[in-house]
Amino acid sequence: MNSNLAIFDFDGTITKHDSFIYFIQFYKGRMSFILGLIVLFPLLLLYKLGLITNSSAKELVLTYYFKDDPLKSFQKKCDSFGENIIPAITKPEAIKTIYNHLSKGHRVIIVTASAENWLFFWCKNMGIELIATQLEVKNGLLTGKISGKNCYGNEKVQRLRDYLNLNEYSEIFAYGDSKGDIPLLELANHKYYKTF
């Protein structure tokens, strides 16, 4: 058996609020963010009513704010967000728990529906692994679409199983805060829901 495994959702579990919202404001500015919310409101209402899926809603937002943006400049901004903004929006108790797992030699992995781009720098700095939603890129430009599936709900479990062999771990800790994390929590010996 390897060392124990600790799995964390990111948004709302480690952070105080959804990092996607923070990132859009950081990337586009507050006024452009608000204007986008006004334009997208009818479509987001359909999502709230359960008439369109989580993935569809996310792609609508991604397309509106990021379609045709060059990946190179986008990633540079993502790294800046990871360095300067994410540390300010994390929950101290969540960070303390991550460090506690690391100090015990546990393998720590973030499994999140957020895009890999704006979490990669922060995770690398923390010394933890990342499984996240991938954004589609064509000819060096963001398309506004998701590459593959949105890393949400059961997809979190599938992505984790594709990434490693869960049978190698005698103790699995999982932390989440929403219904999209329930399948992930069910994998664990130690489940923590809305702990922080």
Exposed / middle / buried, residue 170 (Cβ in 10 Å: 0-12, 13-18, 19+) = exposed
* Spatial strand order in the sheet of 129-138: 141-147, 129-138, 107-115, 5-8, 172-176, 190-193
The letter for the amino acid at 40 is L
CB of 139 closer than 8 Å to CB of 71:
no
| pLDDT, the chain, mean | 94
What would the mean pLDDT of 133-153 be, rounded to a whole number?
Answer: 96
Q: What is the CATH number of domain 5-193?
A: 3.40.50.1000
Q: What is the pLDDT of residues 4-16, one digit of tens each?
A: 999 999 999 999 9
Q: pLDDT tier at 48 (50, 70, 90 boundaries)?
A: confident
Rounded to 10 deg, the angle between the 116-126 and 71-84 helix axes is: 40
| The Cα angle at residue 67 between residues 17 and 162, in degrees rounded to 5 | 65
Q: What is the pLDDT of residues 112-123, one digit of tens each?
A: 999 999 999 999
Q: Domain residues of the chain, as ranges? A: 5-193
Nearest to 149 by CA among 24, 55, 84: 55
